[in-house]
Structure 1
Amino acid sequence: MKKSRLMAGVVAGLVIASTAACSSGAGGGDESEGLTFMFRGGEDEKAAYQAAIDRFTEETGVEVEVIVTDADQYATKLQAAIAGNTVPDVFYIEQANLQSYVNNGILMDITDQVAEQDVDLENIWEFGVNSYRYDGTLQGTSEGRLYGLPKDVGPFGFGYNKTMLEEAGIELPDADEPLTWDEWLPILTELTKDTDGDGEIDQWGTGLNVQWNLQSFVWSNGGDWTNEDRTQVTVDTPEFAEALQFFTDLTTEHAVTPNPEQAQTMDTYQRFMAGEIGFFPVAPWDLSVYNELDFDYDVIPWPVGSTGETATWVGSLGIGVSTTTDMPDEAVKLVTYLSADEEAQQTLVDANIQIPNRIDTAQEWASAPDAQPANRQEYLDIVEDYGRAMPAAFTYGAQWYDELWVNIQPVVDGDQPAAEYLAEVQPRMQALLDESNAQAEAAAAQNNG
C-alpha cells in the first residue's frame, strides 16, 4: 500500500456519475475484446505488474490494457473515469471508498465468481480479505459480500539505523520486546548531535510525521479515534492527549527530531536515507530503496506507551471489478490472479514492493536466510497479530478523520497544549462522523430499495 492520503469522503456527484456508468454496460466505455486495468505505482511496481499481467495473458489469452498513474494522480483520474462513464474493467480501490462505490453501483459483487474459481481465501491474510467485505452496514467483518480482493496488505513497520547505534556504542533494540517511551527517549537524546562541529545539529534520534505516525503512540497509550462501532469520536481523552503531547514534545521540548525549519530543508524520509536519523518508519513499499542504502538497518516493534503493548496500522489496497465490464468472468479471473496466484505474487515480492498476500509465501519470505531487513517477521506479526486498520478505513468517507489534521500545526509547533486542541476539535469531528454515518445509512437504503 502506498502512503497516499485517504480520499476525503464521497466523490462529489458520485450518485449521478455511477448512474450514468451503470447505464452503459460497456467496461471502459469501449467495445474492446480485452480488459482494462487501472492502477498506480512507481517504476518498480509498474515493471512488476506488467510482468505478471504478461504472464496472465499468456496463460488465459485475455489481453489487458494497463492504465497506470502516479500515486498522487490516481484518485483524480479514477473520479474522472467514473464521471465520464469510462470506468476501467479492473481497478485499485481504497478501503475508505469501498462502501460508496458499492452503494452507488460502481463495484461488482465478486463473491460467487471467486468461490467458483476455488481461490483459497484461507491462505490470504484475513485482514486483507475482510477489508473488501461489506454487508450493507459494516465493512471489514467476515460476514460481508466480497467486492474486491487485496492487492496487498501494508504493515507500517518501525525501523532503526543499526550502523548509527553500533557506532554510538548503544545496545541494539530487541527484535521482539518493544522499548517503552521512557527507555526510548534517552537513546534519541544520545543520538542527536552535531557530528561535524559546525555548531548545528545534523543527526537526530528520530523524525516523524504526525498524520502517519501518531496512530502508534495513541493506540499503545490506550487511546483511539472512535468507539468500537464507529459512532462516537473519542479523541478528547487523557490517553489520546498524553500521546499527542509526547509526540510533539519530541520536537519542541526534547529537540530529538528536526524542527520545522530543518524539515523544510530536507524532509525526514530523505534524512533517514542519508543516514542522519536513527529511528524511522520502514514500510514494505520502501524496501527496494532502503535495501540499497549505505548503512545497515532493521525492523523492530514501535515504542510503547502506558499499555505496554506495541501498536501500529496495517493498510491495504484492493483490486475490484466494475459493474459495467463486458467481461466479468475474465475480470474476476484477473483480480484473483493478481491477488492470489503464487507465481504472480512471487513476481511482486521479488520486486520488493510488498509482503506476500499468500500466507505460505509470506512465511517463506520472512524466514529467508538472506532476508533484508533481517527481522521481516515483524511485518507478519503486524498483519496477523497487532496491526489495526487506519481510523477512517471502514467509515463512509474520511472527512471526520481528516478534520483532526486541519488545524493541528500549533500543537505540533508547541504553541497549543494537546488536550486543549483535542477538546476543540472533537465536536467538529463528531459532527462530520454523524453526517458520514447518516449518508451511509441513506445510501444503503437506496441501494437495497
Structure 2
Amino acid sequence: MKSRIIATIGAVAVAGATLTACGGAGTSAQGENEITFMFRGNDAEQAAYEAAIAEFEELHDAKVNIIMTTPDEYATKLRASISGRQIPDVFYVDPGSVQNYVRAGVIRDISESVEADVDLDNVWAYGVDSYRFDGELMGQGALYAMPKDIGPFSFGYNRTMFEEAGIPLPDTDVPYTWDEFIDVAKELTRDTNGDGKTDQWGTGLNVAWNLQSFVWSNGGDWLNEDRTEVTVDSPEFIEALQYFADMSIVHDVTPSKSEADTLDTYQRWMQGQIGFFPVGPWDVPTYEQLDFDWDLIPYPAGKTGETATWVGSLGIAVSETANNPELATQLAIHLSTDETAQQSLVDAGVQIPNLLDMADVWSTSSTLPPDNKKEFLDVATQYGRALPPATTSDAEWYDELWRNIDPVLDGDMTAEEYLTDVKPRMQELLDRANAEANNG
C-alpha cells in the first residue's frame, strides 16, 4: 500500500560520518572560466536550467558543463563523486546534509559574496536559513548554499467530486477541524457504481509524508527545542497518530490494504477516486492533466486550531575545491535569484518563485492551476516548517519511527503502545548522532 510504504526521509542526506575532506577537485582539466554543475530533475527542469545557464554563460563569458541525473540516482552519484575526489563545482544539496558537508570540508561558505550581491530580504527566509550553519545548530550562522527552491507541501482536494456529491466546497482560508474532516471524508466515501464495493474514498494519505501536519496542528513535535530529546510519546503526538490510523481502521475513509495493493492511493487520486490528497509545486505540471478540477486548502487542524505542514527545499552549493570559486558562487546566485532564470523554472511548473516580489505576482496572474496558489505562499510564510531530520546531522533517529509502524495503521497496536516502544530506540540514535556531530 503506497500510503504505508515507508520512505527513508533521510536517504538523500548522503553526507555521513564517513565523509572526509577532499584534497583536490576533479575539475583540474577545465579552463579558468569553465565550471561543472550537477543536478537532478525531469525534462521540464532540464530545459529550464539549460536556458538559465545559457544566459549565465553569455553574461560571464563562461562555460558550464551540465551533469544531470534522475532523482533516484542523484544521491548515489554525488556520493561517488565525493569519494572519488571528482566533486562538481556547483551541485544540489539538501538541508540535512549541510552539517556533515561543512565538517568534512566539502562545501564552501559563500556568505560574503551572497551578502554583497543579493537582496536576501527578497528571498524566502526559510530557503536561506535552511542552509545556514554556525557549527552547532542549523538555521543560523554562515551561509553554505543558495536555495534552489522551497517546496510547500500543501493539501489538495477534488473539487469535481465535491460538486457532484453536492457537498459545500472547503473554505480556502479556514481549516476543517479534525471532526469536520472525518465527516466530509465519510460523505465522499461511496460505492458509485452500485456493485456493493467502495470505489471512491475521502482520502488516502502516506503516513511518512502527512503525519507531520496532524502532529504539529495538535501541539506535538518530534524533538524538544534544543533537539536533544525525542518527544514522540507526548499525549499530543499519540493522539495525532491514533487519529491518523483511525481514518482507516475506524472510519473507513481510505482504501484498505488489499485495495491499495491493487492500485495505490496516488494512482487512485490521479484517476479521480480520492477526495483529499497532498500537492507540492512539483506536482502541478502532472496534475494539470487531470480529468477533474482540484484546488488547495489548509490541512485539517487539531487541538491548537491552527493548520500546519512542512516545507521542503533543495540548495545549490559550491564545492570547497571548485575550479573557479567566485564564478561557481555566481552561478549558484544566478540560478537561485536571477529573475529570468526564475521565470524559466516557474514557467516549467516545477517550483514557485524564489523571489518574494515575483511570487506575489505569480500567485495572482499565473494561468496554471491551482486557483488558490496563495495557499502555497501561506505555507511558505505562515505555517510551514522544516521536516524534523533537516535540523539534525543524521536522519536515522527519524527513520526509525516509520520502520515498524504498520501494526498501528492496521489496528493491531495502539499509537500509545507503539510510540512508547519506539521512543527509546529513536533517542539512542539521536544521542549517537549528536555525539558524533559534537566530536566532529
Q: TM-score range by the shorter chain?
A: over 0.9
Aligned to 1:311: 308
- Are residue 133 (structure 1) and residue 132 (structure 2) matched? yes
1:156 to 153, 172, 189: 153
Supply the AA of the counterpart residue of 2:170. P
Corresponding residue of 2:64 = 64
Query: 2:184 aligns to what?
Result: 187
Q: CA deviation at 1:13?
A: 6.2
Check 1:54–1:284 CA distance in 2 against 1; reply closer, same or farther (3 A cut): same
Alpha-carbon deviation of 1:177? 0.3
Query: What is aligned with 2:193?
Result: 196
2:359 maps to which residue? Answer: 362
SS at match of 1:92: strand
Query: CA offsets per residue over residues 392-434 of structure 1, 9 Å max, x none?
Result: 1010110110010111111111111000000001011011111
CA distance in 1, matches of 2:341, 2:368: 20
**Secondary structure in structure 1 of the residue aligned to 2:275:** strand
Instruction: Specify whether residues 337 and 82 from structure 1 end up closer, same or farther in structure 2 by C-alpha distance, changes over 3 A only.
Output: same
Question: Could you tell me how far apart the structure 1 residues matched to 2:401 and 2:347 are?
Answer: 38
CA-CA distance at 1:377 after TM superposition = 0.6
**Does 2:221 align with 1:224?**
yes
CA gap 1:369/1:391 in 2 versus in 1, 3 angstroms? closer
Moved over 6 A (4+): none
User: What is the rounded CA distance, in whole Å, between the counterparts of 2:413 and 2:366 in structure 1?
Assistant: 49
Identity fraction in percent: 57
Alignment partners' CA distance in 2, 1:60 and 1:93: 24
CA distance in 1, matches of 2:146, 2:261: 39
Decide whether the 8 Å contact of 1:161 with 1:296 is kept in 2: yes
1:344 lines up with 2:348 in the alignment = no
Amino acid at match of 1:160: Y
* Cα pair 1:365 1:371 within 8 Å, conserved: no
Could you say what secondary structure the match of 1:393 adopts?
A: helix
User: Residues 9 and 367 (structure 1 numbering): CA distance in 2 closer, same or farther, change over 3 Å?
Assistant: closer
After superposing the two structures, state which structure 1 stretch, 92-101 or 40-49, moved more: 40-49
* Structure 1 residues 26-425: aligned runs within 5 Å: 26-28=25-27, 30-33=29-32, 34-116=34-116, 118-141=117-140, 144-368=141-365, 370=367, 372-425=369-422
Q: Distance in 2 between matches of 1:229 and 1:258?
A: 39
Between 216-225 and 260-269, report the one with greater CA deviation.
Answer: 260-269
Where in structure 1 are there 5+ consecutive unaligned residues? 444-449
The count of aligned residue pairs is 433
SS at match of 1:158: strand
Q: Residue 154 of structure 1 aligns to a residue in which SS?
A: strand
CA deviations over 1:174-202 (Å, ceiling 9, x no partner): 01000001111111111111112222211
Q: Which amino acid letter does the alignment assign opposite residue 60 of structure 1?
A: H
Aligned equivalents of 1:349 and 1:8: distance in 2?
Answer: 24
| Equivalent position SS for 2:138 | coil
1:7 and 1:397 in contact (8 A); partners too: no
Distance 2:390 2:17 in 1: 21
TM-score by length of 2: 0.96
How far did residue 28 of structure 1 move?
4.0
Counterpart residue type for residue 65 of structure 2? E
Q: Provide the rounded CA distance (Å) in 2 between the counterparts of 1:340 and 1:9.
A: 24
Aligned Cα RMSD in Å?
1.5
Contact 1:40–1:68 (8 Å) recurs in 2: yes
1:346-389 Cα deviation digits (max 9, x unpaired):
10001111111000000001111735211101111111111111
2:430 paired residue number: 433
